[in-house]
Structure 1
Amino acid sequence: MADEFLIVKRRELFDQVWSAPMTKIAPKYGLSGVGLAKVCKKHKIPKPPVGHWAKLEHGKGSPQPELPELNDTDLEEIRFFRAGFEPVTKHVDAVATTPEIVVKDDLRNPHRLVDQAREKLRSETAGYRGLVSVGSQCCLDISVTKKSLTRALRILEALIRYWESVGGCVSAGDPGTRFARDEDGVSISISEQIVRHEKPRKDRYFKEYTYEATGKLTLSIDEWGEGLRKSWSDGKVQRLESVLGNVAVALEKWVLHERERRLDRQCEERQEREAMKTREAKKASAELESERIKNLEACANDWGRAGQIRDYLADLDGKIASQTIKPIDPESFAKWMPWAQWYADSICPITPTPPRPETDEPIARINKSTEHLDLTAKTRQRLKQGQVSDTDELAELTKHQLEERCGGRYSNMYREVTRVLEGVGYDISARSRW
């Protein structure tokens, strides 16, 4: 977003703070003089001493130091996250004297929004309280009797014309009438005060009322803001037409207030994003640490088991060598001992694993003719069609090759062939059953 931050070079800020008092420079960055002084301190930018500008004003000397060089390149750029306050502040200062806003006696050549509202509201039927309004449609937010409609439109006409003359913009729709400057604005409405009278009735459980239009109008700012005025009404002497200048001043303050709220929200969102990054980094670090611990404990356990097995084998070998004990089956024991030593090495995390010694006779692989295999009728027909002669040839075929050679896709055939090959002793570990 355009207002997220403003990047200023360290040299540029140094030149600025020595060209004018910091209280005049600070608002440009949405800071106070004290806030800007803290920024200068962080980035090692010398500030004018107390009395510097007074000395210059009276023709006395007050030397300007050189900007010191830094080794830290990160300090060479300053990011201000409140850039852009100055334009709104200027508008507030410009209307601080309360402008004079004149309400015309007629609605000749009205503003397009006023003309649009007049056309829509005149065609509306008054509600049960006698007021006309169009709710959330694209229209100025007006809720008055038809008798007061022209006056309400003239008041908004004057206020809209003034606001646009000082660089603001006005829109109508949902929500209501919005007076804005750049991205920030507030919604306002104009309504008529209605007095409710209870009808006399004998039935005390059900009440009926009549509504009386007072002709008194209220202009409201429909936002939340502590300490800011948000409504102006007709009184015994005061008329809304006479306080539109005060409304304009308040609008500028409200827009600044909304701008501050928006920038605060953006600031909080940035804070949350940074905090979230840290939380996620900590979580990832904790998960990684947990995995390290699990791996370390597993390795230590395997190392301990391997050591126990080796100690056991050494003790066993010693007992047999001293003829303290004798193996029941010396031939099997001679094969078992190398296997047991291999197993200890295989589970030890710090010992290279040697080739596994053969302890049992390998399962014989029998190469059979496909004619003598126990096959389903469909698979037998397909293999015959593909001229697959024996299991050695069949074991070399991939699923895709088998389908191409034996004609079309037949998913069950590959699974069946794999089962059959396993049954006659072939290693199917590299084959998928699917």
Structure 2
Amino acid sequence: MLEQYDRAKLLDEVWTEAVTIVAPRYQLSDVGLKKLCGRLQIPTPPRGYWTRLKAGKSVPPRPKLREYVGHPMNLFRTQAPHTEVEPKPMDERLVPLLAFERAPGNQIIVPDQVKRWHPMTNAARVALKKPVIDSRGQPSTRAPALSICVSPSLQDRALRLVDTLLKALETRGYRIEQSKKQVDILIMGRGYHLRVFEPCKRSPYVPTPKQLEDKARGRWSYWPNWAYQPTGKLHLLINEGYAGKVIDSPSLPVEMQLNKLLEQVVTNAVGALVNAEQQAIADEKRRQLRESAAARQRIQNDERKRLAALESDAQNWRRAQVIRDYIDALERKSLSATHGIEHMSYFQWARAKADWLDPLERNVTDLLDEDIKIPY
């Protein structure tokens, strides 16, 4: 819906009040209102106008509104109609899962010490004894163990978090399986993988005095461009954060957000299940439409064949009639003449061909019906 600006009203407003007061009425910033006035060819007060006016000093008089000579569309603004979008109803399978995670009695608590490690966590503990060092210099587990990449000072905490989370998942009926590449968490038939990550702060690398000395003396010396400092904050990611993510914050550590993480995962799993079901319904509808269209197409092809046969029969019937009329006319013209054997034979042959062409004559065969193939 297009609404036209009132140029006279806008001129009066910007010369009566500051743009900081007028701009919100048009849902614009100060700069946006000035740009709008420029497009509408409405002069605005110069810089310092309101300060000088407040101080009682002389200011330029309000100019007259000149005739607009710009593009006509600049006089209009588009207003999108306000429509309230109704929230989608929550799937009935998700309601009890979220209610379970939000119940106070189901709060996941990470112990200070673990007496018996989960097998997958224990495998990660072993992997961290001989870790892979990433490009930031941080130790990381090797696949197919659980993906844990944290500084040594956070390894015990990360392992206790993962151990508690895996046990909580199994308590809720979800399976934990070891595949060739990773540890899979199976929720509603969908596979998820867990990653524990500690980000680092990057800063320009400061070479040591020894490195600077080696460089000054022309010796070979190498140092990286960047230095990485662990932040001490843990990130728990499900499917790299696309299915769930919780992060340490000053007021809420990751240990207090495990139920929130499970809420995110089950919401993703139910959503994926709903999408798969809707896709299956859509696929079935497309299959039915394809079958219906194919059946209609077969009927259409049959109709075309019947029509082609009808047109062929009509043309052959017309050809047969033309031949008969011609032979009759030829005979009438030759009444005074004596018909020889050759003429009689020709008339008989012509009528036989007319009968063969005529679709109304049944069981008429002819040499032309034979499919003659010359052997090699």
Same fold (TM over 0.5): yes
Question: What aligned pairs does 1:416-431 form with structure 2 within 5 A after superposition?
Answer: none
What is the CA–CA distance in structure 1 between the aligned matches of 2:119 and 2:92, rounded to whole Å? Answer: 31
Aligned to 1:219: 236
Which residue in 2 is equivalent to 1:118?
125
1:210 maps to 227
Corresponding position of 1:165: 171
CA contact (8 A) 1:342 1:353 kept: no
Separation (CA, whole Å) in 2 of partners of 1:157 and 1:260: 30
Deviates more, 1:311-320 or 1:118-127: 118-127
Rounded to whole Å, the distance in 1 between the matches of 2:153 and 2:95 is: 39
- Residue 162 of structure 2 corresponds to 156
Deviation of residue 353 (structure 1)? 4.2
- How far off its partner does 1:216 sit? 0.9
Matches within 5 A, 1:225-304: 230-304=244-318
RMSD: 3.4
Give the share of equivalent positions with the same residue, in percent. Answer: 21
Point out where structure 2 has 5 or more consecutive residues left out of the alignment. 1-90, 208-222
1:106 is matched with which residue? 113
| Cα separation, 2, equivalents of 1:313 and 1:207 | 107
Q: Secondary structure at the match of 1:210?
A: strand
Tell me if the contact between 1:199 and 1:210 (Cα under 8 Å) persists in the aligned partners: yes
Structure-2 separation of matches of 1:193 and 1:125:
16
Matches of 2:132 and 2:264, distance apart in 1:
33
Q: Secondary structure of the equivalent of 1:244? A: helix
Distance 1:428 1:168, change over 3 A: closer
Q: Cα offset for 1:178?
A: 4.1
Q: Which consecutive unaligned segments of at least 5 residues does structure 1 have?
A: 1-84, 358-426
Counterpart-to-counterpart distance in 2, 1:338 and 1:215: 111
Partner of 2:101: 95
> What SS is found at the alignment partner of 1:212?
strand
**Is the partner of 1:138 in helix, strand or coil?**
coil
Letter of the structure 1 residue corresponding to residue 317 of structure 2: W
CA spacing shift, 1:349–1:250, aligned 2, 3 Å: same
Q: Which residue of 2 aligns with 1:384?
A: none
Does the C-alpha gap of structure 1 residues 259 and 309 become closer, same or farther in structure 2, counting only changes over 3 Å? same
C-alpha offsets along residues 101-150 of structure 1, whole Å, 9 cap, x if unaligned?
12123344211221223323432321111234467x43323333344333
User: Counterparts in 2 of 1:58-97, with a 5 A limit?
Assistant: 89-97=95-103
Q: Distance in 2 between matches of 1:296 and 1:311?
A: 22
Number of residue pairs aligned between Structure 1 and Structure 2: 269
Asked if 2 retains the 8 angstrom alpha-carbon contact of 1:177 and 1:189, the reply is no
- What is the rounded CA distance, in whole Å, between the counterparts of 1:145 and 1:115 in structure 2? 18
Match of 1:320 in 2: 334
The alpha-carbon distance between structure 1 residues 275 and 130, as it changes in their structure 2 partners (threshold 3 A), is farther
1:235 counterpart letter in structure 2: S
Distance (whole Å) between structure 1 residues aligned to residue 327 and residue 224 of structure 2: 102
SS at match of 2:132: coil
- What is the identity, as a one-letter code, of the residue corresponding to 1:101? I
Change (3 A) 1:242 1:304: same
**Residues 38-68 of structure 1, C-alpha deviation per residue, up to 9 Å, x if partnerless?**
xxxxxxxxxxxxxxxxxxxxxxxxxxxxxxx
